Structure formats: C-alpha cells, structure tokens
Chain A
Amino acid sequence: MLKILFQFSCLLLCISAHAQRDTVIQISATGGLQYSQKRIVVKPNTRLTLVFQNKDDMAHNLVVTRPNSRLRVVEFALALGDKGAQKHYIPAIDDVLAHTTSVEPGNSDSITVKLAEGGYPFVCTFPGHGSIMYGIIYATKDVKRLPAPDQDINIPNPTRMQEAAHRGHHPTVSGHPFPMKLPAVYRTFMPDCGPAAIAVGLPGPNGGQSYVFDAGECRIRYAWSGGFVDNTEQWEGKGQLLTKVVGDIYFRDTGGFPWRVGNAVPKAQFKGYRLVNRYPEFWYVINGVEVHELVKPLPAGRGLIRTFTFSPTKQSLSFINKPQPGIRLQSSLGRFQREILTLPPGTRQVILKMMYDV
C-alpha cells in the first residue's frame, strides 16, 4: 500500500512539474461584457491553453495581443467594417498573437499561446466590446512585482480609473533625486524600436500621452496614452532588459521613414534635440535639409501635434502617411493626395495633427 502511495505521489509530482510549462485555464464570457477572469498569472515561457466558453447571450471572441497593443488591435478590428463578421473580427496584423473564432452563446473554442516574460492583453474585438471586455495575462517569475489588482491599469475597473486620475496630481516615486514631471525624456531600450530609442512622456489627463522617437531612423515609431514608461527592470542589473510601455499603444508608424526630399528616400542623420519648456525638439538632416520636429499632445483626446521646421531648400518635400484605422492626419499646409502630402515649394514649417478618433 505504502509503495502504491509512493508511486502515486511520484506521478503527481511529475504532473505538477510538467504543468509549470503547460497550463490549461478555463475562461468564460459572462453577462455585461465581462470575462470571468480578468487577470491571469503564469510563469514565463508557459504554453498556455485558454478554453473559452461563451456563457453570455451574445457572440464574443477572445484575442491575445502583444504587450500594450489592445487598443490598436481593437481599432484595426473595427476598421474591418463589413468584412469584420466573416473574419471573426480578427485583423491581420502581427499585434495579434492568438485568437478564437466568433463563439456563439453556449459554444466554446480554445487557443494555445506560448508567452515569454511580459504582460499580454486579451480582448473581445467585436464592435463596441473592446473598450470594456478585456483582461491581461502576466507571464512573470516575480508575482510580487505586479500592481495590486485595484491599481492595475490593464484590467477594466471604472472606480480605479477615477482614483488613478486623482493620484496623478501627486508626485510618485521617480527613482531619481527629483520628482517625475512631464514632459520627460528617457533614452533607453524600448520594445519595437531600434536600440537608440528616446521615450518621451507628455503631460495630459489620465496619465498623459507618450511616444517613442527612434534616433537611429529619426522618426516616431509609436505613441500611447494612459501613462509613460516603467524602467524598473532596465535599470536593474546590467541593462539588457527593455523599458516597458505603460498604457495603450494607439499609433504605430509601420511605413518607414516618412519624408521624401525630391524623389529620394533619404537617409536621415540624427543631430540631437533642444529642450523647449522641457519638450524635446528633435533635429536631423535629410539630404542636406535640416529638420526640427517638436511634438506636443493634443489638448484633449488622444493625438499628437507635430511641428516640422525646415532649412531653406529648392528640393520638394513630401510626407508619406501609411493610413491606420482610427488615426486621422491633418496638415496645416497642402493636401493629402492618397497617402502623400506634397508641401508647396519654399515651405519652412508645417504642422501635422495626428488625431485618434473614436
């Protein structure tokens, strides 16, 4: 008997050791656009299977996204328009890591995803659901590092949102001998950017807005709202780990360097920046034309105001915009023809307003 017990406990041990890397979790849609679990914690490199059961009275899906990419995935899903339903509201962008099909009430579907260290949002991308019906999977070794659930900006909680807005008026622990004050600049390793990245946090309501400027390519790579960055892991140890985005990425420039001088795709050379009331005004040279770019937040809502100033040139200047759902671009000069804004000859300054419309 003892021997059998021993063998049995060995078997159990084997199962639990194996289970650390291979986890199955049940999650369901309940009434009121809610997932039954909003915060799932697993170890890094877990092969996680989510079994999604729809217990609601309407159809839903479940999409796991790259870190900080929930907003963008929702926006691209919305942009599918008429074609959304047949595509299960799944946009074809690489921010989507895994997804179920559309699951009718009473049905279920499952997905399996392997997650390296990080925070991975999951969301229902049915039109109108994405702003309410979401949650987060943390793949972490260090559970103690996670924010308290009532302060976690990655899970829906209307009360917490109000508290966070209120807290924003008090200086928080900055990790420096001075309080963190926006605008602020960090040159650091950022995700989804070249290694010479500059993170900029701008003041504004609800945690403000932020963007990453790639000093290697001299262009904005993405922008987010709801916070700035978390350097904790980057600062620790030897500096291999990336600084984390805090908030929701609503814009990614996937089109490469946007400016053309004449017809050429120029190679931009970074020259530095000047702080103007703490806002960095970037300076770079493209085909002999000096460009200064100052970025400010829209006074209300998500969006950036980019002011470009040029040295005199006889060459024509044009800006290529790769359209993106939810993002509207408005120029102080000239007009966009399809995706190209050609500036009138002799232009010395242009203001591009990038607005995120919901």
Chain B
Amino acid sequence: MFALLILSSFLFAATPADTISDYYEVETILTPAGLVAETGGLSFLPDGRMAACFHRGEIMLYNPKTKVWKLFADGLHDPLGVVAVSNRELLVIQRPELTRLTDTNGDGVADLYETVTDQYGMSGNYHEFAFGPVRDAKGNLYISLNTGSNGAGIRDEVRGQYEPLGRQGRMYACVPYRGWVLQITPDGKVKPFASGFRSPNGIGFDAKGRLFVTDNQGDWLGTSKLYHVKEGKFYGHPASLVWRPGFPSVDPLTLPVRTLDSLRTVESIAFPHESMAHSPTQVVFDNTGGKFGPFTGQMFVGDMDYAHLLRILPDEVNGQIQGACIPFFSKAGSNGVAMRIGNNRLAFGPDGSLYLGQTDHGWLGSKGIQRIRYKGGVPLDIMAMKLTHTGFTLTFTQPLDEATAREITNYKLRSYYYEYHQAYGSPQMDMQSVSVSDVEVSADRRTVLLRLETIKPNRIYELTLGNLAAGNGQKKLMNHLICYTLNKLVE
C-alpha cells in the first residue's frame, strides 16, 4: 500500500495534470455592497475603466487599477447591453429603447438620457428583452429584439402596432420587429435588418467585422446556434415574418415547414445541446494581439448554464461561413478560482483579460463579475478545423507527438442533424458513425488530415479525439470534443 502511494505520487509528479488552469486563471471581481449583480452588459471606456449595467437599472463604472466602483446612471429598465463611446458617454439598451447616456457637466454622473431609438413595439411580455448594441466600422449600431413568450400574456396597453397573426405559437412577435435585428445608421435612421430570431441574446462581430448573432434552442431551433447575419435574410424562427415588408397577411405557423425552410438562411455553426451549450450569450472576438494567449482573432461565446465558453473555428466554404465550435476553459484543474456559470456578457479589458458578466435573471446562472487572465504558455488545443474534398484538416497550437497523432483510433467521428420544426428542440436525428479511412500528419506535425469514407452536407460532424499529446507527452490535449457544422461540401 505504501509502495503504491509512493508510486502514484511519483507518477503524478512525472506527468503534471496539464489543464487549462495552468495557462489561464479566473479572478472574481468584488462588486459593491448592496448591488444585486445580475449583469446585463460590460464595456471598457477609453481610459480603461469598465462600465457595467445591472438588472435593477444601475450603470456603474469600475476602475480595475483602484478596484473602486462608482455609480454613473440609474433607473433603467432591465438594461442588457452597454457600449462605451467615450469617457463620458455610453450607449445602453434597456427594454423600451436604446439610450445615449452623457455626463455633460463632467461630475462623473450621467445627466442626459437621450432616446437613440424606441422604434419597436413592446407588448409588456417579460420575454421581450432587448440586446446590444454593437457598432460596426461605419458607425452603424445593431440591436436584437427577443420574441415574447407564451409563458405569460401581454399587457392591455401595448406600444406599437398590435398584430394578432404574430401572437401565435410558443414564442411570438405580436408587436413590430420582435425577432429582428435592427440597424441604426449614424444619421439615426432605423432599418429592420434581418428576421427569424427567437432569443438572440448574443450579438457581435468577428475580426473581419462580420456580424454574428447567437440564438437559443427552443421552438424552431433544434439546438442553439450562431448565425452570420446579413441584411434582408430570414434565419428561421417564423413569428417575426409578420413584420417583413410585403409578407402576406397569414399566420406564419400555418405555412408548410418546407416553405419556411426554403425561406431561411441556416446557421453558420450549431452548438449541440448538452455537449456544447444550453443557452448561448455574447459573441466577442479576441482583439488583444496575443495578450489573451494563442487564440488572437478568434471568437468566444458565453453560455448561461455551463462553466465554460465556446471558441469558434470558422471555415469558409464556397464563400459561406460554416465551421466548428469547441469548449474553452472546460475541465479546469483544481488550482485556482472556479469559473461560475451564467456568463451572460464578455468583454476584453485593456490588459487583455476577458471579463465575464454573470446573471441568472430568473433562470439558471449566477450573479457577479469574474475575469479570465492569461498566465502564459501554450495549451495543446485545436486552432482550426477545415473541410476538404475528402474530410477535415485539424491544425493544432503546436507540433503533436507523431505516434499518437498517426493512430487512426484516436479519431472517432459521427454525424447527425437537428430537425427544423415547430416543436421545442430536436433529438439528434439519423445518427451515423463515420469511418476514418486515413490519417496524415503534416511535416511540421501541427496539422492532421483526416480522410473519411463518406461525407455529406447538412449534418453536424462530431469528432472525439483520443489522447493526443505534444512535447513527448508533457502536453495534454485540452479538449477532446469538437463539432463541425457541415452545411455545404467543398465544390
């Protein structure tokens, strides 16, 4: 027994655990006494302070150097997003409107609350959240509007035109632009930009300035997903169609699923329910130039129910974005502070750390703010997953140990799809295992080419990796599960 103990401690010392918490650490940010920190938004001011908004209507400014919080504004209605314009000016979305808050007299507190736009409806249903804003390079702002839920009714008095045809179904759009992304141009014009969203609680850009929106599993969404959003497109949740110009005067739910399917643009990347996400949140891309580690330029997505983020590995196939998602900061080691769930908002600070704004808001989640700081080193992980004519290439953060990389049994693949239908969620349909016929490792040992027996479009390819390693077994693979959404084959 004693010998066994000695042996196991020897083994333990010889092969350190090598988990993600050897490369990143989590720190909990103390919030002020009396604050119920249901965090709705995070943004950094040019001077390095962080603006945070909270469910009970407060906007507070946090100085990361002094760790001091100060109140900037209050009295807002469930603010769920903030963007700093300058050290004195913030844009904040609240249930009724997008608001510009300005400290005009320089006393550190906002005194001007200007309505940027309130040109959308409110039925008074609790689920009609408003998200955003985000600002593109041309100065356009984008906000996304949640549909209402039949978990509760609507008020006797609504704001905006009431459309009974949009009141049907589990999640509904009985007032204008529910289930839409709106664009507000720099001269203040409001343009209904894209439709078909259910619960779009994540809006952001990638490094190339392309607009992405997350949506939540539910009716018409077999699983949660990430859309690449373009003007005029419809993304699949039918209720919002009633507000599409020229749309016939019918309840969209009476249209055949085939018809709705033909109208929609599918997601770029599905987040398989359970294994990847339950309730995705904010999208941010790593603009830290390496301060946050090796994933510069990549997008991260939060989730309400999981103590991990998702990292997005996009692939461009025939001009369309599809690609893979992989967890980030899952299975952290026992060292350090644990990441909480409820990661509703993400924002990179000037020091390159990623701040996490947490909420529960009556659902699963937590309250507060944490941040993830990069400590150094390069974890062994997948940097890219690309589709080829015959399979996939996987590119890793560093050269792999060749023997394990070449081992064909280290690559288990299966594929399935999620049904597009009115029901809530979808099982994984037509699950098939996919045989790997050949594995090839590149000369620099960073890239693995997998050739598959068959490859089919409109399916999710779930790859489970075995114990790949690097540095002669010193580096362990951080994540063994990666899911590629294969909409189109390479032409």
Nearest CB of B to A190, in Å:
10
A120 part of interface (Cβ distance < 8 Å): no
Are A235 and B58 neighbours in the complex by a CB distance under 8 Å? no
* Residue interface bits B99-132, CB-to-A below 8 A is 1, else 0: 1100000000011111100100011111100000
What residues on A are CB-neighbors of B113 within 8 Å? 272-275, 280
User: For residue A271, which residue of chain B has the nearest CB?
Assistant: B115
A95 vs B58: C-alpha distance when bound (angstroms): 34
A331 part of interface (Cβ distance < 8 Å): no
Are B71 and A177 neighbours in the complex by a CB distance under 8 Å? yes
Known contacts being A235-B56, A239-B126, is A187 close to B76, with CB within 8 Å?
yes
B302 part of interface (Cβ distance < 8 Å): no
User: For residue B175, which residue of chain A has the nearest CB?
Assistant: A195
Nearest CB of A to B127, in Å:
7
A270 vs B69: C-alpha distance when bound (angstroms): 31
User: For residue B123, which residue of chain A has the nearest CB?
Assistant: A195
A238 part of interface (Cβ distance < 8 Å): yes
What residues on A are CB-neighbors of B152 within 8 Å? 240
B75 part of interface (Cβ distance < 8 Å): yes
What residues on B are CB-neighbors of A40 within 8 Å? none
Interface residue count on the B side (C-beta < 8 Å): 45
What residues on B are CB-neighbors of A188 within 8 Å? 57, 77
Contact partner, B75, options A177, A185, A237, A274, Cβ 8 Å = A185
A276 vs B71: C-alpha distance when bound (angstroms): 17
A58 part of interface (Cβ distance < 8 Å): no
User: For residue B158, which residue of chain A has the nearest CB?
Assistant: A195
Are A195 and B56 neighbours in the complex by a CB distance under 8 Å? no
B363 part of interface (Cβ distance < 8 Å): yes
Residue of A193, A272, A276 with most chain B CB atoms under a 10 A cut-off: A272
What residues on A are CB-neighbors of B219 within 8 Å? none
What residues on B are CB-neighbors of A174 within 8 Å? 34
Known contacts being A196-B122, A240-B125, A274-B111, is A215 close to B78, with CB within 8 Å?
no
Nearest CB of B to A212, in Å:
12
A32 part of interface (Cβ distance < 8 Å): no
B316 part of interface (Cβ distance < 8 Å): no
A124 vs B55: C-alpha distance when bound (angstroms): 41
Nearest CB of A to B30, in Å:
12
Nearest CB of A to B3, in Å:
57
User: For residue B109, which residue of chain A has the nearest CB?
Assistant: A275
Which chain B residues (40-75) contact chain A, with CB distance < 8 Å? 55-58, 60, 69, 71, 74-75
What residues on B are CB-neighbors of A275 within 8 Å? 110-113
A216 vs B157: C-alpha distance when bound (angstroms): 10
A175 part of interface (Cβ distance < 8 Å): yes
Nearest CB of A to B119, in Å:
9
A3 part of interface (Cβ distance < 8 Å): no
What residues on B are CB-neighbors of A175 within 8 Å? 34, 36, 56
Which chain A residues (240-275) contact chain B, with CB distance < 8 Å? 240, 270-275
B35 part of interface (Cβ distance < 8 Å): yes
B94 part of interface (Cβ distance < 8 Å): yes
Known contacts being A195-B159, A239-B78, A240-B152, is A177 close to B114, with CB within 8 Å?
no
User: For residue B152, which residue of chain A has the nearest CB?
Assistant: A240
A9 vs B77: C-alpha distance when bound (angstroms): 52
User: For residue A237, which residue of chain B has the nearest CB?
Assistant: B362
Which chain A residues (180-236) contact chain B, with CB distance < 8 Å? 184-189, 193-196, 198, 215-216, 231, 235-236
User: For residue A235, which residue of chain B has the nearest CB?
Assistant: B56
What residues on B are CB-neighbors of A177 within 8 Å? 31-35, 58, 60, 69, 71
B155 part of interface (Cβ distance < 8 Å): yes
B210 part of interface (Cβ distance < 8 Å): no
A6 part of interface (Cβ distance < 8 Å): no
A314 part of interface (Cβ distance < 8 Å): no
Are B55 and A235 neighbours in the complex by a CB distance under 8 Å? yes
Contact partner, B122, options A195, A271, A276, Cβ 8 Å = A195
Which chain A residues (272-301) contact chain B, with CB distance < 8 Å? 272-276, 280
A71 vs B97: C-alpha distance when bound (angstroms): 34
Are A187 and B77 neighbours in the complex by a CB distance under 8 Å? yes
Are A187 and B94 neighbours in the complex by a CB distance under 8 Å? yes
Are B114 and A195 neighbours in the complex by a CB distance under 8 Å? no
A111 vs B76: C-alpha distance when bound (angstroms): 42
B361 part of interface (Cβ distance < 8 Å): yes
Nearest CB of A to B201, in Å:
13
A145 part of interface (Cβ distance < 8 Å): no
Are A178 and B34 neighbours in the complex by a CB distance under 8 Å? yes
20 contacting pairs across A/B (C-beta < 8 A): A175-B56, A176-B35, A177-B32, A177-B33, A177-B35, A177-B69, A187-B75, A194-B155, A194-B157, A195-B95, A195-B157, A196-B118, A215-B96, A215-B97, A216-B118, A216-B157, A238-B362, A239-B78, A239-B361, A272-B113
Binding site for A on B (CB under 8 A): 31-36, 55-58, 60, 69, 71, 74-78, 94-97, 99-100, 110-115, 118, 122-127, 152, 155, 157-159, 361-363
